[in-house]
Structure 1
Amino acid sequence: MDWNRVEGNWKQFKGQVKEQWGKLTDDDIDQIAGRRDQLEGKIQERYGIAKDQVREDVDNWFGRLP
């Protein structure tokens, strides 16, 4: 699966994102709208994690998707 599929089906993935990163608000998730760079930026902002670590975390989450 590629990221375009996540972006295209964002409504289906919102719950999983919220489950993984609970500090993200509903507004954050709506603003992200499936864009990976926006997701990584919001995670950095809310959790104060370094960019490299966020990228790895998102890769791990993405790898676990069905």
Structure 2
Amino acid sequence: MDWNRVEGNWKEIKGKVKQQWGKLTDDDLDVIDGRQDQLEGRLQQRYGYAKDQARKEINDWFDRQKW
């Protein structure tokens, strides 16, 4: 599955994102709206991650999903 399908199914997937990164608020999830770059930015804000670390966290999470 590629990230475009995450964007298309965001309403269903955002619960999994919230489980993984509990510091993200519902407002954050609405702003992210399935966009990977927005998720990276919000993880940097909420968790203090560097950009590379945020990207790695997202990729690792994405690879673990059973779509």
Deviations 1:11-55 (A, max 9, x none): 111110000000000000011000000000000000101111110
SS of corresponding position for 1:13: helix
Counterparts in 2 of 1:1-66, with a 5 A limit?
Answer: 1-66=1-66
Question: Could you tell me how far 1:7 is from its partner in structure 2?
Answer: 0.3
* Counterpart Cα distance in 2 of 1:5 and 1:13: 10
- The TM-score normalised by the length of structure 1 is 0.97
- The TM-score normalised by the length of structure 2 is 0.95
Paired residue type of 1:46: R
Question: Could you tell me how far 1:64 is from its partner in structure 2?
Answer: 1.1
Unaligned runs of 5+ in 2: none
RMSD between aligned residues: 0.5
- State, as a whole percentage, how many aligned pairs show the same letter: 68
Number of equivalenced pairs? 66
SS of corresponding position for 2:39: helix
